Structure 1
Amino acid sequence: MSTNVPQNQDDQEIDLFLFLKKISNFPQWISAMLFKSIQFFIKNGIIILILLIVGFGLGYYLDKNQKKYDHQIIVAPNFKSTDYLYSKIDLLASKISEKDVLFLKSIGIIDPSQLTKISIEPIVDVYKLISNNEQNFELLELMAQNGDLKTIVKESTTSKNYNYHTIILSTNGVTRQGDVVDPILKYLNNSSYFEKIQKISVGNIQQKIKEKEATIVQIDTILNAFSNNHRNAQRSDKLIYYNENMQLSSIINTKDSLVNMLGALKIDLFNSGKVINDNTVIINIKNNESINGKMKLILPVLFISLFIIIGFILSFYKSQRLKAK
């Protein structure tokens, strides 16, 4: 045992010496690598310059000729057709990903190869959702107790209750509304079931408008009669005391309420012209997300990086080959 202890101490001293030697040589190693890197760029300067020019030129060409554009359609599904709308968009998305040209042409799209993607997302309006129905507020309050409210308002079960939704289309190059947007809107509105629901709903709204207008005419008759009686009383210099049972103020308030309801019904009638009502269409929004429009910067860096990696591999191979000999 006494002979092994000195041997272990010697080994530890040797390891420590080698470690300290490597640390002392570390700055020299950095200097050597820096020198080799500078030497590499000087030696291959012409090649690197060519790669830089070629990469920029090719990237500029791709950016100019392969532009991607987005198109947005803000829609309001009527007659509780939100689930129908989302299912139709899902079907279109699958047909586009499958490149089903026959189907896309059958619904009126001029150049199906130009269309690359379609999606839909709700326009989150929690305040409108709550104001329309008190039960929605209670439901959101209950759900928020078990999760994050920001996440809940964007979940599919909640998002389908919003009034407005945005359909997003993506195409290669600019397009016209009649080539892509209008055929898709026509396809979304092509439903025999919802067309029947639309016809019934429009009839109901028109009937309500007639009833409200008739009631307003009756109220105007009562108010005119009161006005005439009031003028006659002033001419005869007699005081007339009107019984509170006439509820004149209540009649005026009722008329105001009916006028407001009539205005809302006319707006509903206007918005009921389609099953999926398109409120706003915005086309040809240039898409600069991800690498779109950035190829003239990406390709030069990519080409030079590949050249450096290949040069490093070849240099390493040559050095190891010389050592092997």
Structure 2
Amino acid sequence: MNKNVPNNLEDQEIDLSQISKKIRSLLQRFNTFLFRCIQFFVKNGIVVSILLIVGVGLGLFLDQTEKNYEHQIIVAPNFKSTDYLYSKIDLLASKIAEKDFFFLKSIGIKNTQEINKISIEPIVDIYKFINNEGQNLELLQLMAQNGDLKTIAKETSISKNYDFHTIILSTQGITSQKRTVEPILNYLNTSPYFRGAQKISISNIRQNIKTKEGIIAQIDGILDQYSSSNGNRQKSDKLIYYNENTQLNDIIKTKDSLTKDIGTLKIQLFNSDKIIKDCTVIMNIQNTKSINGKLKFVLPAVLILGFIFISFFISFYRKQSLKTEQNSTI
């Protein structure tokens, strides 16, 4: 046991000395690399300064002239036209990517060359989706067993069931609603099939409202008769909120329910004036994502890095050429 202890100590000392040598070697290499970098920039200071000035100047110019803007159109597809809406936006996106300016002009867009892209995404409202139909909760629970609920909520099969969606349009430069947005909305509302569905739906809503208003008028008549029979001077159902007569209470609750239904139907009628109802349009939001608006910082870095790469490539090529020549002479 005692004989092994000195050997272990010696081994540890050897290991520590080797580690310290490696650390010193790495530090020396780092110092050499740092010195060469400083030497390179000192030697090529004029070129680097020129590239820096040119990059900043060109970047400032491009940031001012090549501004990209986003425009958001919040829409509500009616008459189960969500799939139609998404397919139309996909078609527009492909035409913009193909730079099919003839097609874009044919639907009324004025600034065809300024449009960069168009896309659509749902406005996720998972709570309303669940409340609309009880089976939706069971569906989400079943799907969530195999994945994240947030991811599932944005899947195409689920997202198309939300009431509102956002069309995102990107343009180079500022545009107006009349030049760009209105032609797109008019194009989305030109389906003969959904125009027919719109007429039938509006007729059904109006008939439903008329029927419910007729039932309310009958209920008002019953309440007036009840008030008269009880000797009430004011023949108004507003004074009747509770009575021991259960049937009368049910009639009042029915009237309240019908009134709420009529309010909902009137909102539906208001939203049914278009196949794709535009709810809100937000124009000219400057896009600062990625390198947009940051070219004054990006271009100088790209130019300097490119110069460094070319310089090191030339230096490497010369060294290898010299080695090749020396080997050939030997």
- For this structure pair, what is the TM-score category when the shorter chain's length is used for normalisation? 0.7 to 0.9
Pairing 1:183-222 to 2, within 5 Å after superposition: 183-222=183-222
* 1:88 matched residue in structure 2: 88
Superposition deviation, residue 169 in structure 1: 0.6
Stretch moving more, 138-147 or 298-307: 138-147
Inter-partner Cα distance in structure 1 for 2:191 and 2:31: 74
TM-score, reference length from structure 2: 0.84
Superposition deviation, residue 100 in structure 1: 0.7
* 1:64 matched residue in structure 2: 64
Matched position secondary structure for 1:150? helix
TM-score, reference length from structure 1: 0.86
Superposition deviation, residue 248 in structure 1: 1.5
Superposed CA offset, 1:135-169 (max 9, x none): 22222222222333222211111111111111111
* 1:164 matched residue in structure 2: 164
Matched position secondary structure for 1:231? coil
Pairing 1:256-295 to 2, within 5 Å after superposition: 256-295=256-295
Inter-partner Cα distance in structure 1 for 2:123 and 2:315: 57
Superposition deviation, residue 63 in structure 1: 0.8
Paired residue type of 2:272? S
Inter-partner Cα distance in structure 1 for 2:157 and 2:298: 41
Pairing 1:22-101 to 2, within 5 Å after superposition: 27-101=27-101
Inter-partner Cα distance in structure 2 for 1:60 and 1:298: 11
> Judging changes above 3 Å, is the alpha-carbon distance between structure 1 residues 309 and 198 closer, same or farther for their aligned structure 2 residues?
same
For structure 1, which runs of at least 5 residues remain unmatched after alignment? Answer: 1-19, 234-242
Inter-partner Cα distance in structure 1 for 2:181 and 2:275: 16
Matched position secondary structure for 2:285? strand
Inter-partner Cα distance in structure 2 for 1:156 and 1:230: 60
Inter-partner Cα distance in structure 2 for 1:25 and 1:146: 53
* 1:154 matched residue in structure 2: 154
Paired residue type of 1:166? T
Superposition deviation, residue 34 in structure 1: 2.6
Number of equivalenced pairs: 299
For structure 2, which runs of at least 5 residues remain unmatched after alignment? Answer: 1-19, 234-242
* 2:117 matched residue in structure 1: 117
Inter-partner Cα distance in structure 2 for 1:294 and 1:179: 28
* 2:4 matched residue in structure 1: none
* 1:298 matched residue in structure 2: 298
Paired residue type of 1:277? K
Inter-partner Cα distance in structure 1 for 2:232 and 2:284: 68
Inter-partner Cα distance in structure 2 for 1:175 and 1:213: 46
Inter-partner Cα distance in structure 2 for 1:21 and 1:129: 67
The Cα RMSD (Å) is 2.3
Superposition deviation, residue 114 in structure 1: 0.8
Question: What's the % identity of the aligned pairs?
Answer: 62
Inter-partner Cα distance in structure 2 for 1:214 and 1:24: 96
Superposition deviation, residue 219 in structure 1: 1.1
Inter-partner Cα distance in structure 2 for 1:147 and 1:31: 51
Inter-partner Cα distance in structure 1 for 2:23 and 2:184: 69
> Judging changes above 3 Å, is the alpha-carbon distance between structure 1 residues 126 and 29 closer, same or farther for their aligned structure 2 residues?
closer
Superposition deviation, residue 96 in structure 1: 0.7
Inter-partner Cα distance in structure 1 for 2:27 and 2:140: 63
Pairing 1:130-141 to 2, within 5 Å after superposition: 130-141=130-141
> Judging changes above 3 Å, is the alpha-carbon distance between structure 1 residues 24 and 192 closer, same or farther for their aligned structure 2 residues?
closer
Superposition deviation, residue 319 in structure 1: 3.9
Paired residue type of 2:105? K
